[in-house]
Structure 1
């Protein structure tokens, strides 16, 4: 799999190793963006724009990882639901319901998703999304003519 397919295509399957590599890279980029914005070296709007730009490669890696588990990419929308629940204003509800909807449910969704994507192995052999996941080629292969 090429870098372009890894980060920008929703087709195919992605193994755990390449999923975790993107997660680590994403975390480093987020820390850098928020750190630079926090000390005023990067405009807040520019940092927000960069975060939005990272949504495509993040969603592409998540969808391909779901495909490796023989799941539809639409399952990734559960992460959007979890973020919305986490960001919601639940102050109109009593304390227990606030905690349940605003903290517990998003945490459970995130944990189950991370187990599904990052811990469990993909289906063996081909599935409805293609052949077994191939590793990402981070460096170009040397051609036979060199």
Structure 2
């Protein structure tokens, strides 16, 4: 599978190893970018980071879709990412010393993100894919 297919196609299957490597790179990119923007453009970081998160969202969803496919499940399971995406977009990136009041909506969305994230982690990160070919393609090597 080419890098282009890996990052931008929602077809096929990948194993846990590729999924974990992607997630390590993905979160390092996000943390590095956020730290860099806070240093270089502290007054604009809260505007630039969401744009970056949208750019890396498509590859993240494509890779996660392939992992769901390896588990024999459809891409509809990507809907579990909605609370995670909302949570990532609403995390403050400004001065960490500024306290914010948590609303009930934020608390509920944080809890939903926690539950959905745990489900995705267990299903995609720890459980083995289906053995042999399935409707999404051949078993990854």
- Which of 112, 115, 125 is 1:108 aligned to? 115
Runs of at least 5 residues in structure 1 that lack an aligned partner in the other structure:
135-146
Bigger proportion of residues as helix: 2
User: For the structure 1 residues 104 and 51, does the alpha-carbon distance in structure 2 shift closer, same or farther, using more than 3 Å as the test?
Assistant: closer
- SS of the counterpart of 2:40? coil
Worse overlay, 125-134 or 58-67:
125-134
In 1: Cα distance, 2:65 partner to 2:7 partner: 11
Runs of at least 5 residues in structure 2 that lack an aligned partner in the other structure:
91-100
Q: Report how many aligned residue pairs link the two structures.
A: 128
User: For the Cα contact (< 8 Å) 1:8–1:60, is it kept in 2?
Assistant: yes
Distance apart, 1:81 and its partner CA: 3.5
| Counterpart in the other structure of 1:67 | 69
Normalised by the size of structure 2, how large is the TM-score?
0.78
Deviations 1:51-74 (A, max 9, x none): 211011101000000000000111
User: For the Cα contact (< 8 Å) 2:71–2:129, is it kept in 1?
Assistant: yes
Deviations 1:71-129 (A, max 9, x none): 01111111104544795x98468xxxx75x33433212211110000000000000110
| Counterpart in the other structure of 1:124 | 131
Distance apart, 1:32 and its partner CA: 1.0
In 2: Cα distance, 1:31 partner to 1:82 partner: 16
| Counterpart in the other structure of 1:7 | 7
In 1: Cα distance, 2:51 partner to 2:115 partner: 29
User: For the Cα contact (< 8 Å) 2:84–2:117, is it kept in 1?
Assistant: yes
Normalised by the size of structure 1, how large is the TM-score?
0.75
